């Protein structure tokens, strides 16, 4: 899943960065440009990631279920 740009108050390292991987991040590395994100902002998050999974779940909850 993709998310908007990280919030300034976020204390976690960017998804896919070396620092995040050292802390157990399982978000895609290449899709996240090794932590730089997409051109225009945003990251690909894994809901199973121990660092960013909660953020991913919160984002999914915020957009709701359109069905």
CA distance 66 to 32: 27
pLDDT at position 6 is 53
pLDDT at position 48 is 93
Token pair of 34 as six digits: 């090794």
pLDDT at position 61 is 85
Q: How do the domains of the chain map onto residue ranges?
A: 2-63
Per-residue pLDDT of the chain (67 residues; tens, 9 = 90+): 555 555 455 688 999 999 999 999 999 999 999 999 998 889 999 999 999 998 888 888 888 755 4
CA distance 45 to 65: 18
Question: What's this model's pTM, rounded to 2 decimal places?
Answer: 0.73
């Amino acid at each position: 899943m993709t998310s908007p740009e990280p919030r300034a108050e976020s204390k976690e390292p960017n998804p896919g960065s070396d620092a995040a991987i050292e802390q157990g991040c399982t978000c895609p590395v290449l899709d996240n440009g090794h932590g730089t994100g997409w051109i225009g902002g945003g990251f690909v998050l894994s809901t199973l990631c121990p660092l960013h999974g909660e953020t991913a779940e919160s984002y999914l909850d915020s957009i709701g279920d359109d069905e």
